[in-house]
Structure 1
Amino acid sequence: MGSLTRGEIDHSLHPRVNSADPVAPRPRPTEPPHLLRDDADAIAIATALAAELAQGAQLRDREGLLPLAELDRYSQSGLWSLLVPKAHGGPGLSHATLAKVISIVATGDPAVAQISQNHLAIVDLVDLDGTEEQKAMVFGWSLAGLRFGNAFSEFGTKSVGEFRTRVTFEGDEAVVNGEKFYTTGALLAHLVPIVAVGPDGIYLVFADRDAPGLSVTNDWSGFGQRTTASGSVRLDTVRVARNRAIRLRDTTEHPTVQGPVSQIIQAAIDAGIARAAIDETIRFVTTQSRPWIDSGKETAGEDPYTIQAIGDLKIRLHAAEALLEIAGRAIDRGYAEASLDTVTEATIRTAEAKVLTTQIALEATNRLFELAGTRSTLAVNGLDRHWRNARVHTLHDPVRWKFFHVGNWYLNGTHPPRHPWN
């Protein structure tokens, strides 16, 4: 996929973000996606996809173009089904591989990587809380190439964990009413899973993207992660089959790795942003930057302070990536045998990883300009997107609370809270 010039953009194929442009529900795939063979297959596919995504990432960010064709190729790659258990026909890969794959994809375009995060977390959530019939249904959808968006968070509530959206049951139907925001992926999904309060607890309700009463507004206006389509969803008496409403267990009473799975995907995206920024820094310094006048060097890459800074960034990136691997293995253990101790270990390890990925994403995207020099800030380079993406995406779930929960565990033996944001 080559980069398009401004004059070659077909806006009928690439709707803009935060606009009144209509975006019809995406057509369902006519063929099933690739079925991953193993970890190496997943990593190889992610690496090739990231290189392709990187070619158009600057253009999509600059013009605010939704990644329609790119997303189709991503979901048809098989990567969206990497967590589907082998017992249900999937590859059943590890959460360590999940983190690696997402970080690689995010290196190419973190907005595209973010669109898949809820789908991947939902596959695990259904495996943890769904009935056998519901698992077969949802996993079958994923293996057929259908994409899940999300309708979780809401404006105007006291906290992120409070919901006003309601589901009621009428015979064989579930009926949903409410409004959602930060609905990453819903605009371009085939199915929209909705978190709603029912008569006996919290439910995850799967509605078709084109279901009557379900409307998605393309109104995400963040200055970073611009093309994630994280706008709003309105639910006006949306009716679905009752078996599409999955009753979620209370994680405060039943320890599960639901939270760490969601968090490790977030952390992996930040690691990808950091890696892309460091790669851009090295490329720019070695091809375009001038050595500082006081260095006495012939090239910018020979500047001892620049050399030191790149070494520091690479070391901290590798430390963050190593913690992602450790966290993924801890999640695998908690997934295979859930207990208070295994889930706490997964939560703590993932929190540690998220602290480091947040720090290196912000530091790498900031130092890019310091090391590359004033020329790197020119609009034609589009390098500011890395900092904007890092600044916006790292706001998912504040790391100041990660420090607290990690310290409280080591110091006082206090188990961290169990919810999707921790």
Structure 2
Amino acid sequence: AASSIPFIITILLFNDIYSGVSIYEEYYWIPAFQLKLGFLLDSLSYPFLLLITLMGFLSTIYSTKYMEHEHGYPAYMALLLMFNAGMVGVVLATNLFLLYIFWELMLIPSYFLIAYWGTGRPRIIGFKYFVFTHAGALVMLLGIIWMYVLYGSLEISQLSTLITDRAENIYIASLIFIGAAVKMAIFPFHTWLPDAHAEAPTPISVLLSGVMIKTGAYVVARILLGLFYQPLQSMVDMLAILSLLSMLWGGFMALVQTDVKRLLAYSSISQMGYILFGLITLNPTGVSGGLFHVLNHGFAKGLLFMCSGVLIHVLNERDLNKLGGLASRMPLTAMAMLLGGLSIAGTPPLGGFASEWMIFGGGMESGLTLYTAIAIANTAITAGYYLRMIRAIFFLKPRHDLTKVHDAPINMAVPMSILIILVIILGFLNYPITKIIASTATQLIKI
């Protein structure tokens, strides 16, 4: 019930945001430093808040079945709510120090969720995840401190008028980018992701891959596009190369995986490359595509991880070489996996097609023709690894006794069904959300 409240409030606020109204709350926190507890819901933070609150709610429902027999179930649920709260705080904070506090608040509960309820070598994997993402956060903190020293404020709204054209800005922007890139798992800051996302409990994998890595994209949009647009222009080629390396590395690694969750994890590295590429096109079409892909990838990847959880819950198996012939016994899971995979591969008329088309259009508009061509070609790799996975699980010769195999239990089927609907309707009934995204993209681009 607690996880449903933020989602219900987010839905109730849709009309205000759609009408162009921003909602702002502010309280004094540390008056001596002029630090305030400020929260802003506007057209940029709304799509992220919608993703966080919906996926947080659905993963909580999913957990009630998936985690019901696990040790420490109440502690798990408490940490899950804290993890969601940290992500909400990041996208609503109006102050960079407060954003950093919530950035770390995401890390602490997610570390415990991986280290204590994960599979494989959870303590080692959790430690690696903690070290990498905390190091990225400290680099970002250096950028925030440097900003404060130069401009005397941590309020994002004030910084937008205080920041002038100074030589140091390129270094500050680079520090902020590195912090965001670690969270997004952009090449070469990606090495923590495959283990953490593959070995976390599946409802947490849903949030890590579907939601948490998108907070890095939020920081790129809010701080780099919003405050450091000039230095960002000189970084476009370098960032485009990093986004392509992420797409290609994640795609080729996904092609050779036999573990379902590890394949999905590498796919996330590839897809974050697309989101970054859209944001650094620096035109409304590409930025809108990048922000819209945050939602499309979040819903589709969350759905795919939920499907992998059904395989683990019902069959205790995630190896492609040991699965097969499940389509007739698991029709909902088969349909969900097919739709999720096709959406991420950019297949019309699903949601992923719309956002990727906008990203490619933005790339062409910005003259990034070669980069865009490579990004388009990479969608064939995406389709390849998803179709290979779906064929191995559902259509090859059965390797299990199928008589006792059943589809997802109701607590897992309901969240999956909601995401199936979203993956489909975001392909053609997406105007309300794309209008909000387009308005923020236009504001971010300093034409």
TM-based fold match above 0.5: no
Structure with greater proportional strand content: 1
What TM-score do the two structures reach when normalised by structure 2? 0.31
What TM-score do the two structures reach when normalised by structure 1? 0.33
